[in-house]
Structure 1
Amino acid sequence: MTNTKHTSAAPGNTEGLTIGTARGGPAGSSGAAQFKEIRKEALEGVRRRAESTKGSGKLNGKVGVITGVGPESGIGTAAAKLFARDGVKHLYLIDYDDTALPNLKKWLESTYPSTKVTILKADAASPSTISNLISQAIEENGHLDFFFANAGVSQIRPRNTTPDIDEKEFDEVMRINALGVFIAIKYASEAMKIVSPEKGKKVPGGSIILTASIAGLKANAGPIPYSASKAAVVSMAQTAAYDLAGYNIRVNALCPGLIETDMTRGMFTLAEAAGKSDKMGVLNPAHRQGLGSEVAQVALFLASDDSSYVNGQAIPIDGGLTAGVPYAKMKL
């Protein structure tokens, strides 16, 4: 994991190592083998599509910020690559641990020369940092079109049960995950009201994208501090959408399920060591984990004008986990 304060957000771990047969799955060893092969091919297809450098131009001319851009497998990094691929004019990338940022900037600008990239080592829950960065974006470009508030943390220190979690831990998780989102909404929304006709923005507006989690929608998907902070993110997306009514500013929350990122790497390592990698994510109808690029694809949609009528939504990206009640079949 990169610095725990600002890695790409991911959900809790309840789906990870639970082993069972999902509803509708084929029975017997032949069925299990079939599912394993389908799972493998599906994941390989996702990875292959994520490596494509051919974009559609959906973000041509747009300027925006992504926070929580650290590890290679993270949602923030995947989003930066997709946004640049689709023609974004200027990307501002933030992470508390900037170890990987210089190489990412170099790769993005060499692969997509029309995209300018500015990187910053910073705390995404710092009001002065976000306010100053947005002011810089306005000064340099004349407008701000999207803000992807993706920075987050699952736990500061691993704890098994609520009595073991210190009050200071709760405060810090809420500061990073919830306060950081509030700050993003507060400052980004004001900047998005600014127009710059000479630089291509004639109408106020923009898209604020927040990384929440299925832990903010359902119980048993993460510890209390994490779940509470992500529930707050969902609520802020809904409330801010109404608070900003009439300004053409949309606010939506992404709610990932089990995503294979740096934050969840420990779970996948344990599964690999036990020879049970193919059991990760079996409780959802997709029968697999998700990858950072799959969450980033939804963020791309929300940042683009294609989602112009999508507002105030908490969008699960979880392979269908929250669509039903997962269970393990019993032999009667």
Structure 2
Amino acid sequence: MDRFHQRVALVTGAGSGIGAAIAARLAQEGAIVLVADRDYPAALAVVSALHAKGFVASAVELDVTSEAQVLQIVEEVRALHGRLDVLVNNAGIHYGGSFEDTDMGQWRNLMAVNVDGTMRLSLAALPLLKAAGRPTAIVNLSSISGLGGDFGQAAYATSKGAVTHLTRSMALDLAKFGIRVNAVCPGSVRTPMFEAAIAKLDPNQVDEAFAKAYPMGRIAEPAEVASAVAFLASDDASFISGVNLPVDGGLTAHNGAPRFDG
């Protein structure tokens, strides 16, 4: 497939995990990919791997909480390409903790990255998306935690719930410009962030718990989330906007009732 031939795509948080997989998928399908991450060496490593496969990509240092860095990146894209065809707001952080244990500093950090970062970059990039001369797309990374509450995830679920509703509002307001806005809502994905979150738990118990919870018997791989992002960003989804798509092996299809069928 060559769905993104010569299209300019900016992917944030692309130095590892889901973001790196998204950058690779878009590049594989012909996009000119800007791999953005606050960890610049990590972004460079992703770009090096893409170059080794013959893909077109460049690394940019970007902390989405920095207004100055966001504006600088947008100006660089304008100078180099004059437009932006695809924006993937993937940058995000995670803190666990019940409501009563929530630290306000961590709360503010979550909102600054997960919510404000998505809003800030989308606003700044809007003129470039309008300048593309054809329909363009924004894909936000939410979570199944943004579709329903989670035990011990008060701050994180709140931040992703905000992204879920922001996605809907953006889709409504930007449709008149030919800009589609959707979100992918992954369940658990085997990434460095996931591994850090479960580091203190028994690996066998973790695998057993997720196998039992997920109808498909496992959690997702980053490439599977990247496939969903690529679909929503592509012309194959030309009449899809305002959708928050679960990528969760059927987990959110369940109504929560107990099972008695073994």
Fold-level similarity (TM above 0.5):
yes
Identity %: 29
| Equivalent residue pairs, number | 262
Q: Give the CA RMSD over aligned residues.
A: 2.2
Match of 1:101 in 2: 43
Match of 1:82 in 2: 25
Tell whether 2:203 aligns with 1:260: no
Match of 1:251 in 2: 181
- The DSSP-based 3-state class of the residue aligned with 2:110 is helix
Query: Where does structure 1 lack aligned partners over 5 or more consecutive residues?
Result: 1-55, 196-202
Match of 1:175 in 2: 112
For residues 148 and 235 of structure 1, the distance between their equivalents in structure 2, rounded to whole angstroms, comes to 16
The residue identity in structure 1 corresponding to 2:47 is K
* Moved segments of 4+, more than 3 Å: 266-276, 326-331
- What displacement does 1:281 show? 3.9
Match of 1:35 in 2: none
Match of 2:239 in 1: 309
Work out which structure has the larger RCO, using CA pairs closer than 8 Å and 6 or more positions apart in sequence.
1
Deviations along 1:230-249, one digit per CA (max 9) or x if unpaired, are: 01101111001111131110
Match of 2:169 in 1: 239
Task: Name the structure with the higher helix share.
Answer: 2
- Relative to structure 1, the CA distance from residue 275 to residue 244 in structure 2 (aligned partners, 3 Å threshold; closer, same or farther) is closer
The residue identity in structure 1 corresponding to 2:34 is Y
- What displacement does 1:142 show? 2.2
Q: Which of 146, 149, 156 is residue 86 of structure 2 equivalent to?
A: 146
Aligned residue runs from structure 1 range 288-307, under 5 A: 288-307=218-237
Q: Is residue 177–residue 230 contact of structure 1 (8 Å, CA) maintained in 2?
A: yes
Match of 2:123 in 1: 186
Q: Is residue 62–residue 73 contact of structure 2 (8 Å, CA) maintained in 1?
A: no
- What displacement does 1:126 show? 2.0
Range with bigger deviation, 214-223 or 165-174: 214-223
Match of 1:134 in 2: 74
For residues 242 and 135 of structure 2, the distance between their equivalents in structure 1, rounded to whole angstroms, comes to 15
TM-score of the aligned structures, taking structure 2 as reference length? 0.92
Match of 2:6 in 1: 61
Tell whether 2:173 aligns with 1:230: no
For residues 327 and 253 of structure 1, the distance between their equivalents in structure 2, rounded to whole angstroms, comes to 27
| Structure number with larger C-alpha Rg | 1
For residues 269 and 173 of structure 1, the distance between their equivalents in structure 2, rounded to whole angstroms, comes to 20
Q: Is residue 143–residue 246 contact of structure 2 (8 Å, CA) maintained in 1?
A: yes
The residue identity in structure 1 corresponding to 2:145 is A
Q: Is residue 35–residue 46 contact of structure 2 (8 Å, CA) maintained in 1?
A: no
- Relative to structure 1, the CA distance from residue 327 to residue 260 in structure 2 (aligned partners, 3 Å threshold; closer, same or farther) is farther
Deviations along 1:87-123, one digit per CA (max 9) or x if unpaired, are: 11x211111223322222111112124x1x2212221
Q: Is residue 86–residue 136 contact of structure 2 (8 Å, CA) maintained in 1?
A: yes
